[in-house]
Every structure is written in C-alpha cells, then in structure tokens.
Amino acid sequence: MKLLFFNASIIEQRLIAEWSATHGVSVKTVGAPLSHDNIALTHGYDALIFYPSRAFQTDATLYQQLAQNGIKQLSIKSTGYDNINLTYAQHYQLTVTNVPNYSPESVAHFTIMSILMMLRQLPEQLRTAHTVSRQHLIGKELTDVTVGIYGAGRLGSLVAKTLHVMGARVLFYARTPKPALTALGLTQVSFETLLTASDVLSIHVPLNETTYHRFNAVTLGKMKDDAILINTARGSVIDTAALIRYVRQGKFSGLALDALENEDTQGFQTNPYYQALQAFENVILTPHIAYYTSAAVRDIVMTALDNAYDVISTGISDNVVLN
C-alpha cells in the first residue's frame, strides 16, 4: 500500500509519522498542494490524501491523469468535498472519502467567540488607532438578542445548544425536524422567519447546489438592518458582492466571516472581497481558521489516513461519499 499526502504542514507531518509507525504503512508527504505541476508525483501510488483546489470542479484531465497513474482513492481531508466533481471521479473509478466529524467544539467555540465579540463591538475598539469613548461602543448582552442558526447538523446543533444555555433566545432552520433541540426549548422556524427575526444569524451548512448563494441580495435584504452575520461554513453560501453592497449602504451592525468566496484560488489578503470588506471597522475577517486547533487537526489527519487505509485494504470505509 502506497499513500501520498499533499500540502502537508509541519504539524501534519508529525501526526502522519505517528500514524505511519502505528500502522506500519509508509506515507510520502509533499509540502505543496496537488496541481498539474506536480501530478506526476502520484504515479505508482494507491491513494491520495489532500484538499482539492477549485480546479477539481471543472478539469476532467486531473482525474484522468490520476487514474492513469494508478490512483484508486481520493481521501479528502475536510468535511466539505464541494471541490470534487463526483461525475468525473465516478467516470475514472475513483473512490472518494471525507472527514465528516472532527472536534465540533473547535468551530462551535470560535463561532460563539465571534458572536460575543460582535455584540460588544470589540472589532471597532481593536481597529481604532486612538482611544474611543466607551459611550460610542456600548454593547449588547447575549441574553437580550435572538440568535438564528442556519443549519442544525452536528456543529450547528452544538452552537445552538451552547447559546441557549448561555441565555440567548435561539431559533434554528433545518430541512428536517430536530426534536432533540425543540425539547430543550429551541424554536425551529422557516428560513423566512430566521431571516427577519434574528439579531444574530450564524451559518452552519455545507456548500452545495441548494446552499450556493443562499444569502443573496433578496434574502440578505430581509434581514434586520442592524443584524450581525456570522459565517464559519463556506464562503459561497453568501453572495459576497451583494453583501458588500449592503454594508456600504449601512446595513448590518457587524460581520464575522471565516470563509470567503474564491479564497482557495485568490488567496486571502489578495482576494478582492477581502480587500473590500477589510475597510469596514465592524467586520472581522479570518482565513478559514475556525476549525484550526490541535485537536481538530489531529482528528482530520488520522481520519483521512484511516479512510485511505480502509479503502485500499478492504475496499470500504465508513466515510465513503462515492464508491
């Protein structure tokens, strides 16, 4: 069994070495992301562990080359696999796995931290060069606001339950009933109600055809003018151009965005969306780090390697999204 791990950080390399010693399987690491420039390195390997760039959405030749080089499995080291074109992967008989669960506390705690920072207007205080009178930065308490949760899966549910315990009134939108949440006193509502009733709205859904630009000019316009919007999910769930237009008009009292559209192809600080949004004092922008804790990275690396090992050795894995 030959495994190849792309874009391996120093932290990941230590975990890979630990996993390799435990399983008796050699894992080759490459520091760079997988691309046409280094795809020849995949020749002779059985499985790849990597995070796909957006090129994998549209470039069938990447899949063709991987199959010709002997690759049988793509182990995606994230929960989201929206950059994988499943049609191409199926055509070239490539099994795809993901990491559906890893330290949900990492993103949940980051989300709650972001909400509290926005409610207390901390970004304006931190970004202001001179001392500002506290009279201009009076905050709100969590117990005085309604927080809406868009998406009540494992992560969204954890955020919702934690905020409820902290005293917030919590509404949530989910495609299916969530009796475990409603039993605690949380209220399941329509998407329309979530938009219009939330003082703070936090996004916790994967990116797919249904959620792409779910927050667009129309839906963003229905939110309260002084609402706070939090996104620790995927950048393209929000129509960022429409969001920027609203912010320029004075809508939204704060934004905390840990994901931006095109972040993996244009970088972060060079992303035009980042350049436009960072000009506003009531905006927090972070480079997709909500998940990035030692516990979460360990879970991701170990699960991604386990997925590759399971598929190559047995043909199955608990985390297969395409076989």
Query: Which residues belong to the active site?
Result: 234, 263, 288
Report d(CA 242, CA 240) in Å as an integer: 5
Here the tokens at position 251 are: 């809508």
Among 4, 6, 17, CA closest to 298 = 17
Instruction: Name the burial class of residue 116, with classes exposed (0-12), middle (13-18) and buried (19+) by CB atoms within 10 angstroms of its CB.
Output: middle
Q: Label residues 41-79 b or e (16+ Cβ within 10 Å = b).
A: bbeebbbbbbbbbebbeebeebbebbbebebbbbbbbbb
Instruction: Report the DSSP beta bridge partners of residue 303.
Output: none
In a 3-state reduction of DSSP, which class is residue 157? helix
Q: In degrees, to the nearest 5, what angle opens at C-alpha 275 toward C-alphas 210 and 137? A: 95
Q: How far is CA 214 from CA 149, 244, 259, in A?
A: 14, 15, 15
What's 303's DSSP letter?
Answer: H
Here the tokens at position 147 are: 């927080």
Among 219, 94, 198, CA closest to 146 = 198
